[in-house]
Amino acid sequence: MRVRSLPCTHHRGHALPQPPTRITDELGIALSNLADSATGVLTPTLRLGVTGLSRAGKTIFITALVHNLLTQGRLPGFAPLAEGRFIGARLAEYPDATIPRFAYEQHLAALTANPPVWPESTRRISQLRLVLRYQSAKWWSGMAGPATLNLDIVDYPGEWLLDLPLLGLSFAEWSADALARARLPGHADEAGEFLAALEGTDMLAPASDPEAERLAAAFTAYLRRSREHGALSTLPPGRFLLPGDLEGSPALTFAPLPPPAGPVRRSSLHAMLENRYEAYKDRIVRPFFRDHFARLDRQVVLVDTLRALNAGPAAVSDLETALTAVLACFRQGEANMLLRPFSRRIDRILFAATKADHVHHTSHDRLEAILNRLVANAARRARFAGAQTRSMAIAGIRATGEGTIREHGETLPTLIGTPLAGEVLDGASYDGSTEIALFPGDLPERPDSLFENGTPVALNFLRFAPPARLERNAAGDPVLPHIRLDRALDYLIGDWMA
């Protein structure tokens, strides 16, 4: 027996159900929430999910957030600190010993090394607990003394997020959708080899592991090429790109197939791949949804908007599709403290356009407007369900400064930073040690223009190295420069510390 939520709207105009859950799933979620509540009788716990699509900067965001809380960094927009009510923070052992710990210390060491390097991207789920001490602003807080809040940060790859819609799709539905995208004009470079492999396959022939592995390898290669070219909604199944310990397992050895031309026998290749698809959903996607995703209180969705803009109109449209499809699967709603011990809902979602330091601050409002346009459908659905949403242009760690240059009698705003080794612009290749001043280009005033006529955005987009010369606070801790991290933090947890 299955319990289904209200249907959400798929980007093709069809009804795509929210992730269907079994009675046993709902019971497991309720018991997990009850256990969380029991351990938090004296100290409340807020579970914050952090995700992003394809190199959006999740590791940087979490490292910067944790470091600034631990060192009471420069966070003027974080009300508890600005008002002098924030006492401090410390790292604590996470109660679930089966979940990998977010490697905060290693990531910070990479960022503060000589020379500094960006830490490795998120490749699996990880969690971290911060214990926050503060003085409440409420009038009766003086009698109660300082308060404590456990902040549990759950970090997971965006590729896994893209798997959630699969729970509402049969093998035939997913195959039809995946093959329709693969055959779209302009996808020949990415999907050509996979489609050619399909042409020579007899899906009604007896099941064969080598055949399944051949098709899965061709499909995985197609997904990787799509990601390299900026596509996002073509990524599911996400574990094909980040397999971890599951690499080579039968649950990751399948591919979409066209409708069979005749009866499908249980011993056929088609039946084998369909069974593996269902096993992927039941053994991999569903436990992630049940054990982690359905237990979140707040959610940050980091979006590499600039990368999509730089890749062209197709990537922008693809990003909108991915955000709309996936965010419809969040368990959203207004927080109910009476029901919270049994059923959690995400009551606040922050959409954050990362790498705001890659454009001049005069373009930040345009970057936020573009992000608002990309997430408009998802945000409307969240607000209708009772959740709050906000969009913001941020940089967890600021890698550039700003200045001006004069060119042809015109003063242009510039970014000042050190491009990563191997970055190329206008025929010039950088060695990773040369600081430059760069005019990044202008973002459009009207976000709708990106969708109305598919006009490309002319951006001088480079990846910059982390800041090499960091200030130190009075305690000797490095100060990580950022853009609006304080405002993001205040929106996500400030009300819990009021």
- Backbone phi and psi for residue 21, each to the nearest 5 degrees, phi listed first: -120, 145
Residue 31 pLDDT: 54
pLDDT of residue 471 exceeding 80: yes
| pTM recorded for the entire structure | 0.85
Closest CA to 470 of 115, 163, 152: 115
Q: How many CB atoms lie within 10 A of CB 263?
A: 7
Average pLDDT over residues 314-324: 82
The residue with tokens 């490795």 is 120
Q: Which amino acid is at 387?
A: A
- Position 198 scores a pLDDT of 95
Residue 40 has pLDDT above 60, yes or no: no
Model confidence pLDDT, tens digit, residues 137-155: 887 766 778 999 999 999 9
Q: Distance (Å, rounded) from C-alpha 231 to C-alpha 350?
A: 22
Q: Give yes or no for residue 63 having a pLDDT over 90.
A: yes
346/381 Cα distance (integer angstroms) = 13
What is the radius of gyration, based on Cα positions, of the chain? 24
Runs of H (alpha helix) within 403-476 = 449-452
More confident residue, 331 or 468: 468
Listed ranges 23-32, 59-68, 284-293; the one with the highest mean pLDDT: 59-68
Distance between CA atoms of residues 420 and 115, nearest Å: 12
Is pLDDT above 50 for 6?
Answer: no
* Angstrom distance (rounded) from CA 52 to CA 161: 8
Rounded to the nearest integer, the mean pLDDT of the chain is 86
DSSP state of 252: G
Residue 26: per-residue pLDDT? 52
Q: Is-contact 255 201, C-beta < 8 A?
A: no
Q: State the pLDDT at residue 9.
A: 35
The band of 317, judged by pLDDT with boundaries at 50, 70 and 90, is: confident
pLDDT class for 233, splitting at 50, 70, 90?
A: low
Asked if residue 395 lies in contact with residue 324, where contact means CB atoms within 8 angstroms, the answer is no
pLDDT level of residue 3 (50, 70, 90 thresholds): very low
> Are the C-beta atoms of residues 155 and 52 closer than 8 Å to each other?
no
Closest CA to 300 of 347, 349, 334: 349
Residue entry with tokens 């056929």: 268
Is the pLDDT at 176 greater than 90? The verdict is yes
DSSP code string of 159-191: HHHTTGGGGG--HHHHHHHHHHHHTSTT-HHHH
> Could you tell me what percent of the chain has a pLDDT over 70?
86
Looking at the chain, which residues constitute the CATH 3.40.50.300 domain(s)?
2-156+292-398+483-497
* 2-156+292-398+483-497 is a CATH 2.40.30.170 domain: no
> How many Cβ atoms are within 10 Å of 15's Cβ, its own excluded?
10
What is the residue whose two structure tokens read 């969040």?
330
Both tokens assigned to 306: 């600039």
Task: Name beta bridge partners: 8.
Answer: 16
Residue 244 has pLDDT above 80, yes or no: no
Is the backbone peptide bond immediately before 165 cis, with ω within 30 degrees of 0? no
Confidence of residue 213 (pLDDT cuts 50, 70, 90): very high
Q: Which amino acid is at 341?
A: P
Q: Using CA atoms, how far apart are residues 246 and 284, in angstroms rounded to an integer?
A: 10
Please say if the pLDDT value at position 185 is more than 90: no
The fraction of the chain above a pLDDT of 90, given in percent, is 55
Residue 177 CB: number of other CB atoms within 10 A? Answer: 21
**pLDDT at res. 427:** 86
**Cβ atoms 391, 420 nearer than 8 A:** no
pLDDT for the residue 39: 53
Work out whether the CA dihedral 341, 344, 345, 351 comes out positive or negative. Answer: positive
Q: Closest Cα to residue 342, out of 282, 281, 295, 408? A: 295
Report how far residue 366's alpha carbon sits from residue 447's, in angstroms, rounded to the nearest whole number: 8
410 band by pLDDT with thresholds 50, 70 and 90: confident
Check pLDDT > 90 for residue 133.
yes
pLDDT in tens, 97-132: 888 999 999 999 999 999 999 998 877 889 999 999
Total count of residues recorded for the chain? 498
Identify the pLDDT of residue 11: 39
**Distance (Å, rounded) from C-alpha 259 to C-alpha 175?**
8
Tell me the pLDDT tens digit for each residue of 278-306.
999 999 998 888 888 788 999 999 999 99
Q: Looking at residues 42-58, what average pLDDT do you find?
A: 88
Which positions ≥6 away from 403 have C-beta within 8 Å?
Answer: 413, 414, 415, 416, 437
pLDDT of 342: 46
Parallel/antiparallel/unpaired status of strands 401-407 and 410-417: antiparallel
Q: What is the pLDDT of residue 385?
A: 82
